[in-house]
Copies of this chain bind each other. A is one copy, B any other.
């Protein structure tokens, strides 16, 4: 494989998170499936926001969080995703570039505003996400920069893109360009309801185009329609060259050919907000993978990065991940 300008290129929705603490009653009252992500249109976004308490705003987006985390560890990373030319779009672009990520997708001049995700954080630290896609809804194959894909060792795609035909097409185009150029394709399943909506085409994609799969326990069991994690793991092992399966406080399991590694979770003082924990796990894992670490160390780097974002509101690292990784003997 030739040397690449970027370790990882992420392609996903460009979203600003609006995070607020709510009680369990708020989730019930709004009829949102707890722990999931659902798409909402503008009227519902406005109604939900009006009912939410004081919030904080932090750049988000699943693949974007992963890319930001990868760069925070010192990796070379790039991102493709669409904002509008508005204050929240400037905020998103600033944050990802300021973290050292190559980001050149032009902001839309017209059309809907920059995407927002209204993240409801319950007292148990669980997050329930309500996404207004705004400018991201028009993301299409035209936004795909093939030179950037060819210059990246791994192209990382979020399953959420599968929800809209245009974005799905962009996604498949990107995967094909990456593999043709000798790069690898990584996928995160994103959300169990997203898996339910797209099971067959996800399975086909995983078998045909995906080198590295990320999923949590509920996503991988949804994919294989089983309640048994071991059974899901066995099937993932047959379908994927490499799968990293996360199990919250039980750590993660890495399966690759004949190798199976169970790696404990990194200790967390207090679970403040799980938003971005899966995204940051992928960040650490991919950093390890592109820096020739063992699979166990990849998982440990993933868990370390996930633990950092669990400790505060928001899905982007606030502490210096390089220092944390050095303290843990991983860098």
Q: Is the CB of B53 within 8 A of A56?
A: no
Q: Is A78's beta carbon under 8 Å from chain B?
A: no
Q: Is A173's beta carbon under 8 Å from chain B?
A: no
Choice from B55, B58, B98 contacting A94 with Cβ under 8 Å:
B55
Chain B residues lying within 8 Å of A96, measured Cβ to Cβ, are 54
From known contacts A113-B87, A312-B312, A313-B318, infer whether A54 and B49 are also in contact, taking CB-CB under 8 Å. Answer: no
Chain B residues lying within 8 Å of A54, measured Cβ to Cβ, are 59, 68, 94-96, 98-99, 316
Q: Is the CB of A313 within 8 A of B316?
A: no
Chain B residues lying within 8 Å of A41, measured Cβ to Cβ, are none
How many copies of the shown chain assemble into the complex?
2
Q: Is A150's beta carbon under 8 Å from chain B?
A: no
Chain B residues lying within 8 Å of A12, measured Cβ to Cβ, are none
A-B pairs with beta carbons under 8 Å apart, 21 shown: A20-B98, A49-B94, A53-B98, A53-B99, A54-B59, A54-B68, A54-B94, A54-B95, A54-B98, A54-B99, A55-B98, A56-B57, A56-B58, A56-B314, A56-B316, A56-B318, A57-B57, A57-B58, A87-B87, A87-B113, A312-B313
